[in-house]
Structure 1
Amino acid sequence: MSLEAKLKFEQWMSGYLTQENVLLGRKGPVCPFVGPAQEAGVIHLRTLHTEPEDATDDLVHGLRDLLDYFAGLPDPEGKESLATLVTVVEGLPEHRWRLLDAAQGRMRREAVRRGLMVGQFHPNCPEPAFWRSSFAVSRSPLPLVAIRHMDFHDLLFLHSDPSLFAEYRKRFGFRYEENREVPAEFRELYDHAPQLPAASGSSYIDYQRTTLLHALHQPRTNQPAESSFYLAGQSMELLFALVLEEVRSSQEAMVMDDLGRSAWHLRRGTAGMRLLSGFWDLLSTLSPGEFHAFRDALGDASGLGSYKYRALEFALGLSSPSMATAFEGVPDADMEVHRSLHDASVYDDALGVLVRLGRLDRAAIEPRRNPEAVRAAWAGIHREETVSSERLRWSESLMDLAQAFGRWRLLHLSTVERVIGYKPGTGGTAGVDWLRQVAAERVFPELWEARSDLGGGPARTGGCPAAHPHSPSP
């Protein structure tokens, strides 16, 4: 580790991690482990050297080696729970820092199965604080990874995933089951943590968790039409999660400048959005009378409460801190929404690609976006690239997703108008009028606007693309 990196790390620990922070939402230092671990002398420092072209898989291999190294360290007698391995990641370009988030996500289950916790930190890290999700708690002056043993308090990070919770319960369940004194908020999380059903003996049922899946289909009335409404809503929630996952995977490929792989994930995300649009066909079969027969049973339930959809909106660049506040205090949902709010959007990363291609000056997107410059950059790709160009196909895959998302919103509008007319929407919205305003928003606006700057015949299907004055040499 360089002297400069070591000084930055030590200043971050002494000036941030071991201090109270009013934004944290609780009293005490940002990380309650650091101070005691420092006093016990059980913080181990290492450096992970990376190459500028390293991908997520390379970082995963590096993290796995670090887990092995940490597991092989001698346990400090009486201080086992405080032992920590902090590794500074050197050589990773700034635009690839987000690969640490992806690598940590892939390694999390493996680490937890081994009784370990692994966390990533970097200047743009989107991880929110548990007690105040609007605070991005894991931002550090340099990219690094921390590994430590699982602790009783890690229920805060493991309770929402059944497989992760099972590992926590294996190690700390006795403290709850023997009725030992535990904080009330921990008891609440523990008692309501989701658990997977016992094995059924059927490979298909156990793989798809169909017993649990069908048990979750619980309409509130005996009205036959509610079952279609209920199933459509649950299915859309699963598809929102799929599209969000594909969008994030496309971003991961973008920061590696792998436009072909990015387009592949965007293609699958777009297919997910098209499936989502198909559910409006199902919901359009509800007559106004059928819907109103069970509408009162919804209470205040509304699509506004879909945290996966809101996280997807933010991931597409339609960020709104005010919309995120609606989820504050809602277990798990607030973490998911604010993580997406703190993170770069797919469009942010797409513009970063244009910068690295030499088609856009960084000053045109930082600190604020210059719409005219971005619009010109997108138009330039269409003028100067052939339809066989990877860059043009990638930009059009972004447009496919934008169009599919816009179509989903328009179909939402028309379906609501067909079924309830201009009545107020559930959840207190203005119904159709509000949905019409939302449907008018464009994902990737300059990519749409660039079409107005283009003319002439169809895109060329062959030949050499015109040279761009700032394009890197092939």
Structure 2
Amino acid sequence: MKKELKRGEGPSAVEEWFIQFLARPHDDLGREGAVCPFVAPAMRANTISVERASYAPEKGWLGIAELMRRQMDSYLARSWPEGKAPISALVTALDGMPEHQLPLLDEAQRQVKGEAVRRGLMIGQFHPGCPEPSVWNSSFLVSRSPLPLFALRRMALHDILFLHADPAHFAEYDRRFGYHYGRNRSAVHLPRHFVDLYKAARENAGKRTEYVTYQSIDVLLSLQQPHTHYPAEMTFYLVGQVKELLFKLVYEEVSAARLALVADVPDEASWNLRRAATGLKMLTRSWDVLAQISPAEFNAFRAQLGSASGIDSYMYRMLEFTLGRKSEAMARRYAGVPGVSEAIYRVLHRSSVYDEALGLLRRRGLLDVGDGNEASEAARAAWTRIYRNDGPASELFRLAEALMDVAHEFSRWRALHQLLVERTIGNKPGTGGTSGVDWLRRSSEHRFFAELWEARSALAAGVPPW
């Protein structure tokens, strides 16, 4: 059910947000001008249509995605004042969306963005906790609004800022705006940053067969470029890339589990967490391959690493942040890295999978809200109660064990990492500036989901009641 917000009925919260935030400059934006240069002229031309729609919690992000697709059809079918279609927009505010389910709006936008781009549209999501950073300043969360909504508009020349990194998205942009960058055309009048992004995206574009395209095999197999001819370096190089792919696999599964918890379906989350734990087991086996590189073989090419270190793996860092171990200091290591800093800061500022697990326990009446040590004690008591009273037939028991599977496998991975480094380089400093084995030993002592581990100590001996 949709209802248009008529102008003249008094300023809505959305319109106030337009005027007080989007249409004004902001010190943290990272560039001059309004937060959104589009808003002020569109409001003057009366080409922003704001509607309300009811959120359907039983449909989750899939329902929001369906609504987005309908609104795309509606937007493209509308008539706008002559010559003003390029600055038109359709904004849809979602009524009745619980705060803890706002991440589902982020997921719906991610799923639908490609469809919108193929139709020449841009779609953005906004809500009070939106983790989207400014393209000019990764630490500025530019997409936070007073209520959940999404906005549709036509693709514009400046959207190279948002579409250059994805080949499919860039191809659609290039088809519509590529002529602006042609020789003897207006490229000389474009911002230098636009031209640089465009050229880089063009260089990455290429034609491939259907099979190769599906898995990007040619790209994948072209990325192994060791710096020496020592055979062991290729093994080291390939295992490093395999680990990055597995970090991404585990990250995607844990992220899916987080969304399932937001949607109040813990068994679905447990299923994703089980796959994540299996991915971590594969990561653990990767140390077995590297253990077959002798210290002499590793020393033959180690100098070529320079300061390169796994400590700067941003997929690993995104996985750590998503599991709940967050660090502003670690996030700052990626400041200014195009396409990476934005992703890092987004994950840093959003809830973790453990946050959402505790949120589920609160909604089930098993956890009292508290702060600091009080909150930790309450969480430990809640997990203890689940272990004491419930069994495998309980979805919360299964969730607890799935979370522990992930925490357990992650700790095994860290412990074996420490052993491998000690076996290979002894007590030499790490390439990333760490103390090496000592640093890894301290890191391996950390446990994700600490209260779940502590709950074991609170369980008495005896046969469980279930």
Count residues in correspondence: 457
Aligned with residue 383 of structure 1, among 388, 410, 413: 388
- 1:51 to partner: Cα distance: 2.8
Aligned with residue 189 of structure 1, among 163, 184, 197: 197
| SS of the residue 2:308 aligns to | coil
Which residue does 2:177 correspond to in 1? 172
- Unaligned residue ranges in structure 1 (runs of 5+): 463-474
Which residue does 1:325 correspond to in 2? 332
Give, in whole Å, the separation in 1 of the partners of 2:112 and 2:287: 37
| SS of the residue 1:105 aligns to | helix
Structure 2 vs 1, CA of residues 5 and 400 (structure 1 numbering), >3 Å: closer, same or farther?
Answer: farther
Q: Which moved more, 1:372-381 or 1:161-170?
A: 161-170
1:275 counterpart = 2:275:
no
Residues 49-68 of structure 1 aligned to structure 2 (within 5 Å): 49-68=54-73
Q: Which moved more, 1:333-342 or 1:70-79?
A: 70-79
Structure 2 vs 1, CA of residues 108 and 395 (structure 1 numbering), >3 Å: closer, same or farther?
Answer: same
- 1:81 to partner: Cα distance: 1.9
| SS of the residue 1:426 aligns to | coil
Give, in whole Å, the separation in 2 of the partners of 1:266 and 1:246: 6
| SS of the residue 2:385 aligns to | helix
Percent of aligned positions that are identical: 48
Structure 2 vs 1, CA of residues 424 and 75 (structure 1 numbering), >3 Å: closer, same or farther?
Answer: same
Give, in whole Å, the separation in 2 of the partners of 1:70 and 1:60: 15
1:107 counterpart = 2:115:
no
Which residue does 1:370 correspond to in 2? 375
1:178-226 residue CA offsets vs partner (Å, 9 max, x unmatched): 35222111222222227353123xx432322211211111111101001
| SS of the residue 1:428 aligns to | coil
Structure 2 vs 1, CA of residues 42 and 219 (structure 1 numbering), >3 Å: closer, same or farther?
Answer: same
Aligned with residue 244 of structure 1, among 240, 246, 251: 251
Give, in whole Å, the separation in 2 of the partners of 1:321 and 1:368: 22
Q: Is the Cα contact below 8 Å between 1:424 and 1:431 reproduced in 2?
A: yes
- Per the normalisation by structure 1, the TM-score is 0.93
1:31 counterpart = 2:36:
yes
- 1:369 to partner: Cα distance: 6.7
Q: Is the Cα contact below 8 Å between 2:47 and 2:80 reproduced in 1?
A: no
- Per the normalisation by structure 2, the TM-score is 0.94
Which residue does 1:429 correspond to in 2? 434
- RMSD of aligned alpha carbons: 1.8
Letter in 1 for 2:443: V
Which residue does 2:303 correspond to in 1? 296
Which residue does 1:223 correspond to in 2? 230
Give, in whole Å, the separation in 2 of the partners of 1:433 and 1:139: 41
Give, in whole Å, the separation in 2 of the partners of 1:196 and 1:385: 54
Q: Is the Cα contact below 8 Å between 1:37 and 1:43 reproduced in 2?
A: yes
Q: Is the Cα contact below 8 Å between 2:103 and 2:259 reproduced in 1?
A: yes
Q: Which moved more, 1:171-180 or 1:403-412?
A: 171-180
Q: List structure 1 runs of 4+ shifted beyond 6 angstroms.
A: 2-5
Give, in whole Å, the separation in 2 of the partners of 1:162 and 1:278: 33
Q: Is the Cα contact below 8 Å between 1:95 and 1:255 reproduced in 2?
A: yes
Q: Is the Cα contact below 8 Å between 2:233 and 2:301 reproduced in 1?
A: yes
1:32-91 residue CA offsets vs partner (Å, 9 max, x unmatched): 111111111100111121234331111111111011111111243322221111110012
Q: Is the Cα contact below 8 Å between 1:197 and 1:212 reproduced in 2?
A: no
Q: Is the Cα contact below 8 Å between 2:56 and 2:63 reproduced in 1?
A: no
Which residue does 1:455 correspond to in 2? 460
Give, in whole Å, the separation in 1 of the partners of 2:422 and 2:83: 66
Q: Is the Cα contact below 8 Å between 1:386 and 1:392 reproduced in 2?
A: yes
Residues 195-234 of structure 1 aligned to structure 2 (within 5 Å): 195-200=204-209, 203-234=210-241
1:416 counterpart = 2:405:
no
Structure 2 vs 1, CA of residues 389 and 6 (structure 1 numbering), >3 Å: closer, same or farther?
Answer: farther
| SS of the residue 2:177 aligns to | helix
Structure 2 vs 1, CA of residues 339 and 431 (structure 1 numbering), >3 Å: closer, same or farther?
Answer: same
Aligned with residue 118 of structure 1, among 116, 123, 129: 123
Q: Is the Cα contact below 8 Å between 1:128 and 1:335 reproduced in 2?
A: yes
| SS of the residue 1:22 aligns to | coil
- 1:158 to partner: Cα distance: 1.2
Q: Which moved more, 1:205-214 or 1:114-123?
A: 205-214
Give, in whole Å, the separation in 2 of the partners of 1:383 and 1:422: 44
| SS of the residue 1:92 aligns to | coil
Give, in whole Å, the separation in 2 of the partners of 1:76 and 1:103: 30
Which residue does 2:346 correspond to in 1? 339
Structure 2 vs 1, CA of residues 388 and 196 (structure 1 numbering), >3 Å: closer, same or farther?
Answer: farther
Give, in whole Å, the separation in 2 of the partners of 1:276 and 1:171: 43
Give, in whole Å, the separation in 1 of the partners of 2:281 and 2:50: 48
Structure 2 vs 1, CA of residues 287 and 36 (structure 1 numbering), >3 Å: closer, same or farther?
Answer: same
- 1:6 to partner: Cα distance: 5.5
Which residue does 1:21 correspond to in 2? 26
1:249-299 residue CA offsets vs partner (Å, 9 max, x unmatched): 111111111111110111111111111111111111111111111111112
Q: Is the Cα contact below 8 Å between 2:26 and 2:35 reproduced in 1?
A: yes
Residues 85-164 of structure 1 aligned to structure 2 (within 5 Å): 85-164=90-169
1:306 counterpart = 2:300:
no
Structure 2 vs 1, CA of residues 172 and 368 (structure 1 numbering), >3 Å: closer, same or farther?
Answer: farther
Q: Which moved more, 1:329-338 or 1:381-390?
A: 381-390
| SS of the residue 2:90 aligns to | strand
Give, in whole Å, the separation in 1 of the partners of 2:118 and 2:361: 40
| SS of the residue 1:117 aligns to | strand
Give, in whole Å, the separation in 2 of the partners of 1:195 and 1:149: 25
- Unaligned residue ranges in structure 2 (runs of 5+): none
